[in-house]
Amino acid sequence: MKRIICKDYNEVSRLGAFMFAQQIWSKPDSVLGFATGGTPVGMYRYLVDMYKDGMVDFSAVTTFNLDEYYPMSKSHKQSYDYFMWDNLFSHINVKRENVFLPNGGAADAQKACDEYEHKLTLHGGVDLQLLGIGNNGHIAFNEPCDELHVKTHVIELTEDTIEANARFFDSRDDVPRKALTMGLGSIMKARRIVMLITGKAKTPVVKQMFSGMITPQIPASLLQLHPDVTVVLDTEAAGEL
C-alpha cells in the first residue's frame, strides 16, 4: 500500500479530488466507487468546484456507492442516497440513471444485495474506489468479525459503529441497526483504491492496518493484498506510523 501524508484535512481532500479528476480525464466513462461519512465531504466539495470551473465532466461517469442503512428510505435525510445527492450528485452533471446505491427501501434485503452485486458486475467493476475507515477498522460496513463476506450482503452494525454514527441522527436510538454493504470481494475487485483518513481518533486503527498482519478483526487490513491502494492521511491520523 502506498501512503501519502498530507498536512491536514484540506490537503487530503484536495489530493483525493485530484485523483478522481485524473481518473475521469484518463477515462471519461469511468466507473467510480464513492463513500459516505464525514471524511469525503471535503473531497466532494473540491470535485464540485472543479466541475463548476469546467475542469471535469461527469456526463459519462457511472457511480456505485459502498453501502446504505437498512431499512432506510431514499428521502430520509440520513440515508446515504440523500447524502450523495446533497454533497455531490446534485451539483455535478452525472446522469441520474448512472448513479447506483444499494436499495435500503427494498422489501427483500438479500435480493437487493444480489441485484446490486449483479449490476456492479454488468458494469465491469469499479475503476477507482474511494474508501474511508471506521475507528474499528471497518471498510464500508464490513464490521470486524470472525468471517468476512465476499459479496454485497446484509450486516448488523456493531455498537462501535452505531455510537460513531449517532452524531448524524437525533438520537442513538434512531441509528438503523442494519445495513446493506458491498463485501470485501466486491471492494477488492476495484482496479484502484484510494483511502482517505484524517484525525487523531483514527491513529490506532491506522497503525493496525499497516501492521503487516491480516485479520478479519481489522477488515481494512485485507487491503494489504490489493495491488493498487493509495492511503492519503493527514499528520494526525498518521501519528504512530
Residue 143 a catalytic site member: yes
Least distance between ligand PGA and beta carbon 144 (Å): 12
In 3D space, the residue among 208, 233, 54 whose CA is nearest the CA of residue 131 turns out to be 233
Torsion angles phi and psi, residue 149, rounded to 5: -85, 145
- Out of 68, 117, 127, 143, which one is annotated catalytic? 143
Least distance between ligand PGA and beta carbon 86 (Å): 15
Residue 87 a catalytic site member: no
CA dihedral 37, 43, 48, 53 (to 10 degrees): 180
Least distance between ligand PGA and beta carbon 196 (Å): 8
Rank residues 84 and 133 by Cβ distance to ligand PGA and give the closer one.
Answer: 133
Beta bridge partners of 67: 181
- Spatial neighbors of 59 by CB under 8 A, at least 6 apart, are 28, 93, 94, 95
Contact 176, 72 (CB under 8 A): yes
Least distance between ligand PGA and beta carbon 211 (Å): 19
Residue 123 a catalytic site member: no
- Residue keyed to cell 466513462: 29
Rank residues 133 and 232 by Cβ distance to ligand PGA and give the closer one.
Answer: 133
Residues of the shown chain interacting with ligand PGA in the complex, contacts defined by CB under 6 A: 37-39, 132-134
Q: Apex CA 237: angle with CA 232 and CA 240, to 5°?
A: 115
Residue 136 a catalytic site member: yes
Calpha distance 117→151 (Å, rounded): 7
Active-site residue set: 67, 136, 138, 143
